[in-house]
């Protein structure tokens, strides 16, 4: 039964997201996150891909637990995998902070008055393929903040579920969390964070 108490089928599908992506652009960038133009979002995530600008945000509670969000089943790439709190792509003219605030509110109903220390803590390039569905080739900014109010209201079309976990324990004991199937960009960001490699100035080195 759905959260609303209705047995009606969910209308959003993977085909819906593919169509949405085909109508959108991402910001193509070089290895240093400098804009090179715009690329169709679907083209950027298929074939050989197009390197583009992205972000992932990791929110913590006041005890240092991390808020993980499951990507909805309708997602074409890494569907049902567990991610940091939100991840997406800034549109042209939008900063990573602006895009993060927007996505936090759209996906989880978390507003800016629930945190006050949102900062870019890292930036790295990576390229990963997902089955035969496509790929991510991104220069990904990592943002972190601490929630003073942990209430949220997730959009099920975007977020399949939410859980709180011990951030250090996920890093130190990955086998304990393998059933979550973590998204690769979150795993890279977490490793860089704990191993002292995080740097908000991109160095052009691919992970």
If one counts the domains in the chain, the total is: 1
The answer to the question of residue 169 being in a domain is yes
The pLDDT-based confidence of 16 (bands split at 50, 70, 90) is: low
Average pLDDT, integer, range 73-89? 96
Range of the domain at 129: 25-195
Q: State the CATH number of the domain containing residue 102.
A: 3.90.79.10
Query: How far is 167 from 102, CA to CA, in rounded Å?
Result: 24
Average pLDDT, integer, range 163-178? 96
Query: How far is 71 from 147, CA to CA, in rounded Å?
Result: 21
* Residue 81 is labelled as binding a ligand: no
The pLDDT-based confidence of 202 (bands split at 50, 70, 90) is: confident
pTM above 0.85, yes or no: yes
E-state strands within the chain: 25-29, 35-40, 52-60, 65-71, 82-83, 86-88, 119-130, 134-146, 159-166
The answer to the question of residue 158 being in a domain is yes
Active site residues: 138
Instruction: Name residue 161's beta-bridge partners.
Output: 70
Q: Are 198 and 191 spatial neighbours (Cβ–Cβ below 8 Å)?
A: no
- 166 pLDDT more than 50: yes
According to the model, what pLDDT value does residue 8 have? 46
The pLDDT-based confidence of 1 (bands split at 50, 70, 90) is: very low
Query: How far is 193 from 123, CA to CA, in rounded Å?
Result: 11
* Residue 107 is labelled as binding a ligand: yes
* Residue 176 is labelled as binding a ligand: no
Per mean pLDDT, which range of 18-32, 48-62, 140-154, 167-181 is the poorest?
Answer: 18-32
The answer to the question of residue 5 being in a domain is no
């Amino acid at each position: 039964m759905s959260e609303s108490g209705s047995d009606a089928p969910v209308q959003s599908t993977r085909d819906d997201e593919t169509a949405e992506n085909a109508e959108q652009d991402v910001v193509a960038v070089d290895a240093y996150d400098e804009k090179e133009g715009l690329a169709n979002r679907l083209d950027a995530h298929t074939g050989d891909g197009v390197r583009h600008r992205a972000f992932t945000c990791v929110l913590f509670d006041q005890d240092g637990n991390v808020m993980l969000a499951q990507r909805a089943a309708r997602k074409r790439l890494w569907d049902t995998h567990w991610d940091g709190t939100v991840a997406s792509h800034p549109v042209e003219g939008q900063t990573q902070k602006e895009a993060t605030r927007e996505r936090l509110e759209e996906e989880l109903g978390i507003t800016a008055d629930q945190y006050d220390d949102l900062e870019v803590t890292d930036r790295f390039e990576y390229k990963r393929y997902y089955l035969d569905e496509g790929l991510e080739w991104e220069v990904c900014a990592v943002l972190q903040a601490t929630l003073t109010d942990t209430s949220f209201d997730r959009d099920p079309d975007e977020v399949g579920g939410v859980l709180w976990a011990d951030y250090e324990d996920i890093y130190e004991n990955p086998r304990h969390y393998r059933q979550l199937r973590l998204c690769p960009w979150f795993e890279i960001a977490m490793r860089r964070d704990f191993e002292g490699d995080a740097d908000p100035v991109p160095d052009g080195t691919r992970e």
